[in-house]
Amino acid sequence: MRKVLISSLAAASVLVAGSASAATVGTTFGVSATVLKSCSVAATALAFGNYTPGTGGLSVNSTVNVKCTSGTTFAVALDKGTTAGGLISQRLMANGANTLQYNLYTAAAFGTIFGDGTTGVTAPGTGVGLGTAVPITVFGNLPDNATNQGAVPGAYADTIGVTVTY
């Protein structure tokens, strides 16, 4: 009888130890993130090239590339430039005290002046993700008008500020 009792106790202790190591307990936890609106902007230069007064105006275009988070609506605005006396309605390039008239438009027909949000119009868009730029075309026109035909020869320049509101 002794042998049977010892064997039974050994088997019982194995069962108790086995069921103690199989017990578990658990919980859950939440995971969250908030995607914020974000945009970046880059632009290519708009170069009219050589202008010969009296032979016709010059038309060129540039691109403003806007990258925004997907679904983010935005508006692109262009300021009047850095040349003294320039306006949204009549932008100017300068060569010292001399100026040359030009303007920027939202379409190739030059019907609507690209503005700063208070004068002229802005160009709307919707972001498709930060990895893909949404191109906004800027159409430039340097007219062959009486003022530009009287321009002094030389290199003229201006700098346009681009603002993206989102």
pLDDT in tens, 46-63: 999 999 999 999 999 999
Is 5 a member of any domain?
no
Q: In the chain, what percentage of residues exceed pLDDT 70?
A: 88
Assigned domain for 150 exists: yes
Q: Is 109 helix (H, G, I), strand (E, B) or coil?
A: coil
Asked whether residue 11 is domain-assigned, the answer is: no
What's the mean pLDDT in 11-17? 48
Inside any domain, residue 112: yes
Query: Would you say residue 12 lies in a domain?
Result: no
Segments in 24-122 forming alpha helices (H): none
Give the domain CATH number at 98.
Answer: 2.60.40.1090
| pTM for the structure as a whole | 0.82
Position 21 scores a pLDDT of 81
Selected residue with higher pLDDT from 22 and 127: 127
Order of strands, edge to edge, in the sheet holding 91-95? 39-43, 58-68, 134-142, 98-105, 91-95
Spatial CB neighbours of 142, under 8 Å, sequence gap ≥ 6: 48, 51, 57, 58, 59, 100, 101, 102, 148
Task: Decide if pLDDT at 40 tops 60.
Answer: yes
The domain tally of the chain equals 1
Q: What is the pLDDT of residue 12?
A: 47
The chain-wide mean pLDDT, for the chain, equals: 91
> Is residue 13 situated within a structural domain?
no
Burial class (CB in 10 A: 0-12, 13-18, 19+), 52: exposed
Domain interval for residue 75: 39-165
Could you identify the residue written with the tokens 């340097």? 142
In this prediction, residue 1 carries a pLDDT of 45
Confidence (pLDDT) at 5: 42
Asked if the structure places residue 71 within a domain, the reply is yes
In a domain, 119, yes or no: yes
Please determine, for residue 41, whether its predicted confidence score (pLDDT) is greater than 80.
yes
Tokens 């002794």 belong to: 2
pLDDT at 9 over 50: no
